[in-house]
Structure 1
Amino acid sequence: MDDRGREEIALALGLESQSLRKLTGGLQNLIFENTIGQTVLRVSHSKRRTEEELLAEQHWLEILVSEGVKINEPHLFSDGDRIKEICLEKEPFLITQFGKIEGEGLDPSTPSHWNVEIFEKWGSMAGKLHKNGNAVKLTVKQQKAVNRKSDDKLYRELLMRDRYIARHYQRLLSEIDKLSKDDSCYGLSHRDLHHGNLLYSNGEIHIIDSDDFGYSWFAEDIATALYHVNWHGKSIHSDWKELHKDFLEAFARGYNQVSFLSQEIKDAIPLFLRKREFFLYNLFLQVWELDNLEEWQSFTLKQLEENLRNEIIPIQL
């Protein structure tokens, strides 16, 4: 988006365009920092998110914040609105606002960010999120909006790329659908709880980017965290051979302080480790320059494809 788009957003919100600093922009949303109001603006295309979905997300977040979960808190606009509609380049967008969290992105190469104490706090925060998420009562319209799944979209995209891999994905979804949806293992979840969506501040961690939130099995949040800890963490800490086990042990310890990490949840983690690889495989094929891949990218795609074709669980627990 060019400066004109930023000016139109500022005008719609009654702000000076200079006060908006673009943080990210890409496949999902545009993110701006309002340097005057100390808030973060998320600009979502109306094709991706409905108003009911965003209202449900804000209600969920407000309940979590009230229960002590360190997560991005929704902020009303100056006129009391929760959502602003805007047209950019003749396309409809919805704007939501959140309080800015001061902190650094959780960095595997920084010792104070990457240790069992932090992993335990990560587990505790996930346990609070899952426990209190089930106390959130959404309207019927909001439930329907939140239940919109991206699984079908991913299947269609995989089908266009490789029918064999797409069939494996469909079979995996069938296995997942057989899992229990009891409140102890299923409910409103973050659905993208990797370390890239955590901030470190004064020894604590804060969860950000709740854009993918929705109903899922709690094992999905745990598997997502574990997958990226193992992948990114071991690329930096190659001598930490038991990193995945140490992470899961510390995470479970924190989780069990506030909730209960049942054997049923643990048993489902391998399914969601595999599901994560289908997502990443498709994502990388979308965003990487396939004609100009770096060596590590070529290796990663080859490894992912081998795992998907052979139904390999990427981490042995």
Structure 2
Amino acid sequence: MYDDAFLERLETRLRETLPQWGLSPEAPLRLLTISENATFLGEDRNGAPIVFRVHRPGYHSRDEIRSELAWIQGLRADGVAATPEPLAMTDGDLLGGFEDGDDWRDVVAFEFMSGREPTPGENLPAWFRTLGAITARLHGHVRAWAPPAAFRRKNWDFDAMLGDRPLWGDWRAGMGLDEAGRAVIQRASNLLRERTAAYGSEGRRYGLIHADLRLANLLVDGDRLGVIDFDDCGFSWFMYDFAAAVSFMEHEPFIPELQEAWLSGYATVSPVSADDVAMMPTFLLLRRILLTAWVASRSEAPMAQAMGVSYSVGTVELADRYLMAHG
């Protein structure tokens, strides 16, 4: 799927839609990143950069995409977080698209945000303290915000992650998992189900979250920490946002330090209860197993290929540790 011919076809189809934004099909355009969706970097008539996101088919409905954009506009209007502005087409609509064979691909455009991804080699705890405060403001906004009547986003509860209706596939298909490893993860998954059910999903604990505040979706520019890519935003536990923030590095020894920094930043905006803190290891493993399913179900994606078997093996080790500590 991710070969040169596929990417060339996407670029050709996207070029054909550029007039919807008042741009020439010959305007500068190049692939920026590809994972779930493909993002392209273009330029407006004045040479200012624009980011186009081409959605993969069959994941979000058009109502869900419009709802994501509505939340972003709400956050920007209320000055909650630094995040790029969605850019409208010439007819005022924010959502375009094109036919791609038998599929329809939705397209949205955003202003370009400067910055770079923070890396583990720098002072991550300081950035995670900032991120904790930003996350608390996002959560506070949700609790007060009145979404549009047609607002629709996915519900990231246990069943949608690891249960009977997994949105990202079955973790049991994880690369390199053997029968013994599956048994360990299954025991841990059973405990995760029990603990999330006991914690509950009442209003102070559960609501609309970004759900993917990992390093790749953060942009550092001077003292500013920008937040991008709300594509996975949905309804889930507020404290799950930390687990998503440490995606693909859950096993690293510095995670407790990042958690402490994130919580200290969060507490400058909103209180965190002892019950919330006690649930963070549960959400961390929940995210790790969910990503193990993602890697298995998106095996053609470059990032999934890079994670490979070692990620599944590491998930078994984390699940075993969790069982020893909480089982």
Q: Normalized against structure 1, the TM-score is what?
A: 0.81
Percent of pairs with identical residues: 23
Distance 2:41 2:293 in 1: 30
Query: 3-state DSSP class of the match of 2:268?
Result: helix
The one-character-per-residue Cα deviations of 1:7-61 (angstroms, maximum 9, x if unpaired) are 22122231324422111223x1111112235221111134111111111111111
2:315 aligned residue (280, 304, 308):
304
Change (3 A) 1:59 1:315: farther
2:195 aligned residue (175, 183, 190):
175
Alignment-derived partner of residue 132 in structure 1: 141
CA contact (8 A) 1:84 1:96 kept: yes
2:116 aligned residue (82, 87, 104):
104
CA contact (8 A) 1:172 1:275 kept: yes
Alignment-derived partner of residue 56 in structure 1: 67
Distance 1:41 1:294 in 2: 24
CA contact (8 A) 1:7 1:17 kept: no
Query: 3-state DSSP class of the match of 1:178?
Result: helix
Distance 2:288 2:59 in 1: 22
Alignment-derived partner of residue 94 in structure 1: 106
CA contact (8 A) 2:173 2:293 kept: no
1:174, distance to aligned residue in structure 2 (A): 4.4
Change (3 A) 1:55 1:198: same
Query: 3-state DSSP class of the match of 2:322?
Result: coil
Alignment-derived partner of residue 5 in structure 1: 10
| Structure of greater relative contact order (alpha carbons < 8 Å, 6+ residues apart) | 2
Alignment-derived partner of residue 262 in structure 2: 251
2:140 alignment partner AA? K
1:213 aligned residue (227, 233, 255):
233
5+ unaligned residues in a row in structure 2: which ranges? 1-5
1:246, distance to aligned residue in structure 2 (A): 3.1
- 5 Å matches for 1:224-239? 224-226=244-246, 231=251, 234=253
Distance 1:58 1:101 in 2: 16
2:8 alignment partner AA? D
Q: Normalized against structure 2, the TM-score is what?
A: 0.79
1:228, distance to aligned residue in structure 2 (A): 5.2
Residue-pair matches, total: 298
1:153 aligned residue (166, 184, 188):
166
1:40 aligned residue (14, 32, 51):
51
| Structure ranking higher in helix proportion | 1
Distance 2:124 2:294 in 1: 29
Change (3 A) 1:315 1:248: farther
1:33 alignment partner AA? L
**Cα RMSD for the two superposed structures:** 3.2
Identify which range, 6-15 or 121-130, moves more after superposition: 6-15
Distance 2:95 2:14 in 1: 13
Distance 1:106 1:30 in 2: 21
